[in-house]
């Protein structure tokens, strides 16, 4: 099946900026989403890109390059509460089921 590649772990300090990369498979690609999941919790939607470029939502931004089959999530002004797992997810049609990456665990220290 299709797979998305993202780093398994990232560490950073409070106030820093971190970028989580994701590469996806182009077959049938429609859009790339990002979800956040705290330990023991449910995934929550962060951002979505269907077109090339940057989408900004507060401290979080997401970028997509369709020509490179690549996207990233940028987290700025990191806070301790940002410690969580972050998943990129690919959709192959509008409004359909997602194919998730294995997740990146972000640890923010003081």
Degrees, nearest 5: CA angle 102-14-52: 50
What contacts 60, CB < 8 A, 6 or more positions away? Answer: 34, 46, 47, 73, 74, 75, 76
> Could you tell me the CA-to-CA distances from 107 to 14, 83, 92, 102 in Å, in that order?
10, 5, 31, 16
Member of 10, 12, 74, 98 binding another protein (CB under 8 A): 98
Q: Does 100 bind another protein (CB under 8 A)?
A: yes
d(CA 22, CA 100): 11
Selected from 61, 103, 106, 108, the binder of another protein by CB under 8 A is: 103
- 10 forms part of the interface with another protein (CB under 8 A): no
- The window from 13-21, 55-63, 73-81, 95-103 that contacts another protein (CB under 8 A) reads 95-103
**Choices 19-27, 31-39, 58-66, 67-75 (CB under 8 A): range interacting with another protein:** 31-39
Give the total of residues touching another protein (CB under 8 A): 24
* Residues at the contact surface with another protein, assessed by CB under 8 A: 1, 31, 33, 35, 41-45, 48, 50, 87, 89, 91, 94-103
């Amino acid at each position: 099946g299709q797979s998305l590649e993202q780093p398994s772990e990232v560490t950073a300090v409070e106030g820093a900026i971190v970028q989580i990369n994701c590469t996806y498979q182009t077959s049938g690609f429609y859009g790339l989403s990002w979800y956040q999941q705290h330990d023991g919790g449910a995934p929550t939607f962060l951002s979505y890109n269907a077109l090339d470029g940057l989408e900004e939502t507060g401290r979080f931004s997401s970028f997509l390059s369709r020509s490179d089959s690549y996207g990233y999530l940028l987290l700025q002004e990191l806070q301790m509460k940002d410690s969580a797992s972050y998943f990129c997810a690919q959709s192959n049609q509008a409004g359909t089921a997602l194919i998730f990456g294995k997740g990146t665990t972000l640890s923010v220290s003081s």
